[in-house]
Amino acid sequence: MDWLLMLVVALNNIGAVPDNNFKSGFLKAFSGFQTVKLSLCAVSAEKQLQICQPEPEEELLRSVLKSSDMSEPLLELQGSGDRLQKAVRSMFFPGRERKYEKFLLTGCDGITYFPWAVQIVNVYLPAPGWEQKLEWIRKADVIVLYGSESEESRGFTTEAKRLRPDVPIFIEEAGQYLSGGLKDYLRDLFLSYLKNRIKIKEVLEEQKTEQQIECGQARQVAETLGVDLSLVGSVCDESGYRITRCGLGCF
């Protein structure tokens, strides 16, 4: 079937990010990504989105788009957390003309705001207070650790493996390129992500529900396929399915 498959990767950084950071190496290793730089800021109350008074998509995007450099390519969005979430999600709505199918989200807590994306957690040591980010470790798809062999490095690795014995940790050098092992793993991770989106789309089409699905059904899809509920919600957005009878906060 002729489906447009969106690959969305979110970066989560712990510690001070160096000039030669992960993003530079990532974009060299994986082409075709639209970089979306997200900046959180307070928005006046009268401009905040209301559940019962949704803001038109084009107006929303204009209000948060601060700069674009299509030669990079780069989009910079600035706004409250709610507005940024809705603006990024709107890029997946059906009928929108798209130049890109792959997005790299930077500059924001991707795990909190975009849980349906592939989650890469970059740890730059020394990183005082990294223990406050343990929830990121629990939800990471892959952890990339920068820093020399040190007591802090060993301590971080031990704690991460205790919380997530299954999560891969790659020890990298801060620079312009990613190691071969990390690139190979990310390729497999992205392929798995896309396959999961295909599976969800196939289940939605089998429902034959006139482009809508109940929240309970969506939960069942997630459980049956072994995917996160937030990914089901994202694919529903992308495919034009409306989620009905939804428990508050599910999607």
* Model pLDDT, residue 141: 95
In single-letter form, the type of residue at position 197 comes to R
Q: How does pLDDT run across 132-148, given as a tens digit for each residue? A: 888 999 999 999 999 77
User: DSSP letter at 55?
Assistant: P
Q: How many CA atoms lie within 13 A of 177 on its CB side?
A: 3
- Tell me the per-residue pLDDT of 52-111, one tens digit each, with 9 for 90 and over: 445 676 777 777 877 765 455 678 888 888 888 888 877 766 555 666 688 999 988 899
Task: Give the separation between CA 230 and CA 178, rounded to whole angstroms.
Answer: 29
More confident residue, 211 or 8: 8
CA distance 201 to 176: 37
pLDDT of residue 44: 46
Residue carrying the six token digits 């020394």: 126
Which residues pair with residue 79 across a beta bridge? Answer: 40
What is the C-alpha separation between 60 and 54, in angstroms, rounded?
9
pLDDT, tens digit (0-9, with 9 covering 90-100), for 148-193:
767 888 888 999 999 999 999 999 987 788 999 999 999 999 999 9
Produce one character per residue of 1-23: b if its CB has 16 or more CB atoms within 10 Å, e if not: eeeeebbbbbbbbbbebeeebbb
pLDDT at 25 over 90: yes
For residue 235, the surrounding DSSP H or E stretch is helix 229-239
What does the alpha-carbon distance between residue 166 and residue 242 come to, in Å, rounded to a whole number? 34
pTM: 0.84
Strands 33-40 and 74-79, sheet pairing: parallel
Band (pLDDT 50/70/90 cuts) for residue 250 is: low
pLDDT confidence band for 203 (50 / 70 / 90): confident
Nearest residue to 76 via CA among 85, 63, 66, 84: 66
- d(CA 222, CA 233) in angstroms, rounded, equals 10
CA angle 199/82/25 to nearest 5° reads 65
